[in-house]
Amino acid sequence: MSNIFKKAIKRAKDLIKGKIVLPSFEATVTCAGDTPGATERTLTHPRTGEVVTYHFLKRENSLRPKQNLSFNRYPVVINQDGSQWSDANLYLLWRVEKDDVHKMKTLWSAASDLGAYKRFLDEEQIDYLEFPSRDAKKPTYRYFARLNDSIQAGDIAISTAKRRMNSVVRFYTWLMKEKPEHFLNAPFKVKEVRIRWTYQTGAAVTRTVQTTNLSIKSAKAEPDAHAEYIEDDGKLYPLSMEHQTLLVETLVELGHTEMTLIHLLALYTGGRIQTILTLRARDFSAAIPELASEIRLPIGPGRQIDTKNSKLGVLYIPIWLYEKVQTYLSSDRYKRRLKKVTVESDRSLIFLSRNGNPLYDFSGNRAQFNAHNELRYFREGGLVRVFIAEYVLPKMRERIPDFNYRFHDLRASFGMNLADAQNERIERKEITYSAAMSYVQARMGHESFKTTERYIGYRERLKSAHDAQTNFEKRLKELTEIAKNSRPEMAQ
């Protein structure tokens, strides 16, 4: 496939999404040529050949003086014809200036949502600034109706629709302050509601928050007693011990050193993908204490190892696995990859691609501006997922045709291995239920006991659900037999 054709396909996809991502973006303001620090720039129109010369200064962040508004992988909302939607992009710039620049993916989400809204406006030929007195004619109300129709048709998840509508509301909340002359009629109605929640300690808090009449309601799903997943940062499906064994055998057979170590670390520590892929070589340089069975490795802020929500935590690494990583770090294979590293901060990473690139972009590096950046995305373990899809799953399905797993399921498998071991100790009266819960919670890094309980009670819940279903089917069969053998008398 030619590069021209690839670019054409990408442009078509961008137009459909209503968003593009710039590898690098620097906000500037035009100025006179004799302004101190001014830079001259000459642009040539690609079709007419017209040449325009102007001068500019890099724009400073108004909230952080002496810090320029310069970002990598910056999202831009575009119209159906490929031009930029000015108001939406000014809003994004306001948000990134106001918010923490580490949250670029949050800005991506807002840009995608506004891109979807603009696509709707363009398709329906609606002016986003035209708000008549009748609610049903307002663009916000019409989009609200479209999202609800899409939910009913099964075209969009409730959570996605809810997020998109909230993004549109936030955009207009900002726009009403910037262009009040366009909003003689409000785009939505604002109301205050009181919400109440209870902390794990039992303390209750009530707070008043603002919402709108365009808020998409989502009913809380009832837990499925028959479900084979565990709710823990999503629906996780723990692998059986048989499948775990087969997975490890498959990885060894495939012979990819890095992918095998990454899987083993997840399966034996419960670490999430961002944690495993940002582990540092220095953390595996210490001598192993005598008689130790595992190494305690602190993770999170201050350690340059990513965690969910930047929480402090600990990984407990079995000695045999710690030694395997040490062996890998002294191997020629690792040293060849290390020689190809071009970014100094990536040099301490354990897991690198063949080209010396990180498999996961460390969160602390994402805010550092690189004017020469060419990537339009963040590396977040995509190579691991590709390896699973293209190599591991096909090999596993030779023996188990319907086998499937995601990397995050390895965390659930680790949790279930812990829970099974602790449940056996409870049965032998070697440990109390409370102590078992505390142990699993600490190893998994759960904030809530409720999440840990889902692991401890997983086997019993499935057994109870299975027994109930078996009894129901047995009773239903008995009733069916009675109905079949009955001879109702004919009415006279």
| C-alpha dihedral sign at 131, 136, 137, 142 | positive
- Name the residue type at position 267: L
DSSP state of 233: S
pLDDT given for residue 184 in this prediction: 92
The upper half-sphere exposure of residue 199, i.e. CA atoms within 13 Å in the direction of its Cβ, equals 5
Q: Which residues pair with 42 in a beta bridge?
A: 53
pLDDT digits (tens, 9 = 90+) for 413-435: 998 888 888 888 888 999 898 88
Whole-angstrom distance, CA of residue 230 vs CA of residue 223: 10
pLDDT given for residue 13 in this prediction: 52
pLDDT given for residue 480 in this prediction: 63
pLDDT digits (tens, 9 = 90+) for 41-71: 998 887 888 999 999 988 877 666 667 788 8
For the entire predicted model, the pTM comes to 0.79
pLDDT given for residue 257 in this prediction: 96
Whole-angstrom distance, CA of residue 492 vs CA of residue 195: 64
DSSP state of 358: B
Give which of 209, 169, 165 is closest to 186, Cα–Cα: 169
Supply 26's token pair.
């620097």
Question: Which residue pairs from 465-473 have beta carbons closer than 8 angstroms and sit at least 24 positions apart in sequence?
Answer: 465/225, 465/226, 468/225, 469/226
Q: Which residues pair with 349 in a beta bridge?
A: 280
Supply 223's token pair.
């837990």
CA angle 152, 187, 154 (to 5 degrees): 10
Residue 318 near residue 294 (C-beta atoms within 8 A): yes
Crossing angle of the two packed helices 104-124 and 139-153, in degrees rounded to 10: 100
Low-confidence residues in the chain, pLDDT < 50 = 4-12, 15, 101, 490-492
Element housing 387 (H / E): helix 382-387
